[in-house]
Structure 1
Amino acid sequence: MASYTVEEINNLLKGELVGNTTQKIEGPEQLRKAKPHHITFIGSTKYLKYWDESEASAVLVNDILSLEPGENRAIIKVKNADLAMAQVLELFNPPAPVFESDIHPTAVIHDTAKIGEGCKIGPNCYVGKDVVLGNGVVLYPNVCIFDETIIGDHTVAWSGTVIRERCIIGSHCIFHTNVSIGADGFGYRPSDDGQGLVKIPQIGNVIIGHYVEIGANSCVDRAKFSSTIIGDGSKIDNLVQIGHNSVMGRSCIMAGHSGLAGSVTLGDGVIIGGAASIKDHTTIHSGATVGAGSGVVGDVEAGKTVLGYPAQDSRDMLKQWVAMRRLTKK
């Protein structure tokens, strides 16, 4: 088990060390669950009161907060405790699951597939016709990559992930368990006789940029024609739905249970809160934020924050909520 002195951790973070401890640090832990061998963090004044009762020997704090270390305890002051904790987590990050062989004998790989250097392909994977895997791609057990898909260097697909035919995936992406990329978009129209529904063929694909991360059980549907696009650096939580022909800009965030209907456009840096839903053919411009549980039915201006159902300017919606609360108290 790895362990570090508080001085070694501070040297990594380039913070300001206040106090000291002889206790070796063996990992990070929540403030109220920490034991003496743990380091914890405080990023907000509301958690300062728990420091005295915590058993942690060291704590990361935002440098604007005032805190005393106490006996045989240390404080590391940093500009951003959340980002500093991310560095500490990397220190203690356990190794990835072991591959006994680079390509497991139960993997099915088409003769025409091109496999880059250093790829690892686990048991029961399927790699189809004319697939191209870049260098260092990792496919954990039971991943399926269908025909003519291209995957860039050092992308990782965890078990159960399915990437359908003709998709294009960038480098350094992470797809967590059971991600679906390139399934048919949801397209139906009533039949002429009114007796049923006609399925609209979905003949496009999905294009995903570099450094994209998609959480477990999320779906990115293929386009009806052209492409569904996820921009570089975007991060998508678990249980997210992205509809056909949607286009997501760079460094967007979508929290769990949120969804984009078909042909939604997100600019760069858009944030979609948990369980928010975005109507089809809607544009949310760069830097905008959609609050959790909101329903967006019209375009959102750049940099604007919207809340509610239907979503509107956050300040207007908050005023409405306050007014409604006053009415209920009368």
Structure 2
Amino acid sequence: MSTKSFSLEEINQVIKGIIVGATSQKITAPQQLETATENEISFIGNKKYERLWQDSNACVAIVNEDIAIAPGENRAFIKVKNADLALAQVLELFAGTPPLFHQNIHPTAVIDASAVIGENAEIGANVYIGPKAVIGKNARIYPNVTILDESTIGDRTVIWSGSVVRERCHIGTDCIIHPNATIGADGFGFRPCPERGLAKIPQIGNVIIGNWVEIGANTCVDRGKFSSTIIGDGCKIDNLVQIGHNSVLGKYCIMAGNSGLAGSVTLGNGVIIGGSASIKDHTTIGDGATVGAGSGVTGDIPAGKVMLGYPAVEARDALKQWAILKRLVRESGEKKA
């Protein structure tokens, strides 16, 4: 439990907004509007939530510049250009310290003599680091992580417990790999075979992950069949995501939970894949395109398009189809009545 507290002015020194109103309350924590107490700060990131402010007990809210209400007595707003980004700065103020390492390398860690460990790297209990692996400076490897032969982990990257980095895979700097993620498992390659039913196709490639990438818990990034599966700089991958062999993600892509790429999918820069969306193999999705939650993509998508449905079509077409179906169902029910 955090014991930190800040005044309204101290918080504004960090987010550099415009204060409207005033409060004498010390701010002890951030909280959502509905459950905040009189010593807590909240935020209003969209005008549709302005209605919740009247019944909230929060003493301060971070708000966008277009807010149309007043804060009220002994309450204040901090107006900013982007309330979501400002809130992120406030959350950092109140964040606790991560789990501590009492020594840089725990005595139960097994590290091959040929591995290279960078300056100030921290390695927890029962970690295994294989031959010729390289761990960067100030990297943090939590207990029970496995990093196999010839893999590299960049400076300041954090790998949480239970994760596995298979052989010859490469993770860049300032990445976060959340618990039980698997980087570099075999791609799903099988072909019918008269002698064996299904013959396994060897997967001899690897995975290359750029800088500032975040991989969610229990997510799997499969190694390439004969080259690399690539995750570009700044990509953010949610929990329980599947990225198939030889897929290539550009920079700053987002994939939400339970979504999946089959093999050899290419995403441009800034692509957004909604939760539980499925992308067919050998599909290309252009820069800045969005695939809605639960959609199924069966063909290439041009840059900037928004796709919905199963199979996915342009959003405006999907909405028209759904409206027509809704009307047909209603008319059918009226006729039966």
Sort the TM-score into its range (normalised by shorter chain): over 0.9
Number of the residue aligned with 1:11: 13
Q: How does 1:218-257 map to 2 (within 5 A)?
A: 218-257=219-258
Q: CA deviation at 1:149?
A: 0.3
Aligned equivalents of 2:319, 2:52: Cα separation in 1: 31
**RMSD between superposed Cα atoms in Å:** 0.7
Q: CA deviation at 1:97?
A: 0.4
Number of the residue aligned with 1:169: 171
Aligned equivalents of 2:308, 2:107: Cα separation in 1: 52
Q: CA deviation at 1:169?
A: 1.0
1:205 aligns with 2:206: yes
Q: CA deviation at 1:192?
A: 2.3
Letter in structure 2 aligned against 1:38: E
SS in 2 for 1:89: helix
1:322 aligns with 2:330: no
Which among 182, 188, 191 is matched to residue 189 of structure 1? Answer: 191
Aligned equivalents of 1:138, 1:11: Cα separation in 2: 31
Deviations 1:191-242 (A, max 9, x none): 124x511111000000000000001000000001010000000000000000
Number of the residue aligned with 2:54: 52
Number of the residue aligned with 1:71: 73
Letter in structure 1 aligned against 2:223: R
Letter in structure 2 aligned against 1:180: T
Structure 2 unaligned spans of 5+: 332-337
Number of the residue aligned with 1:114: 116
Aligned equivalents of 1:254, 1:91: Cα separation in 2: 27
Number of residue-to-residue matches in the alignment: 329
Q: How does 1:143-162 map to 2 (within 5 A)?
A: 143-162=145-164
SS in 1 for 2:326: helix
Number of the residue aligned with 2:335: none
Aligned equivalents of 1:209, 1:141: Cα separation in 2: 23
Aligned equivalents of 2:69, 2:80: Cα separation in 1: 13
Deviations 1:156-190 (A, max 9, x none): 00000100000011100000000000000000011
Of 39-48 and 152-161, deviating more is 39-48
Paired-residue identity, %: 64
Deviations 1:94-121 (A, max 9, x none): 0010111110000000000000001000
Number of the residue aligned with 2:297: 296
Aligned equivalents of 2:317, 2:253: Cα separation in 1: 25
Number of the residue aligned with 1:36: 38
SS in 2 for 1:90: helix
Q: CA deviation at 1:125?
A: 0.3
Deviations 1:66-105 (A, max 9, x none): 1211111111111111111001001001001011111000
SS in 1 for 2:207: strand
Q: CA deviation at 1:303?
A: 0.5
Letter in structure 1 aligned against 2:330: K
Number of the residue aligned with 1:283: 284
Number of the residue aligned with 1:305: 306
SS in 1 for 2:77: strand
Number of the residue aligned with 2:102: 100
Letter in structure 1 aligned against 2:18: E
Deviations 1:115-148 (A, max 9, x none): 0001000000000000011101100000000000
Aligned equivalents of 1:33, 1:145: Cα separation in 2: 42
Aligned equivalents of 1:100, 1:14: Cα separation in 2: 37
Letter in structure 2 aligned against 1:23: Q
Aligned equivalents of 2:265, 2:257: Cα separation in 1: 18
Number of the residue aligned with 1:81: 83
Aligned equivalents of 2:69, 2:94: Cα separation in 1: 26
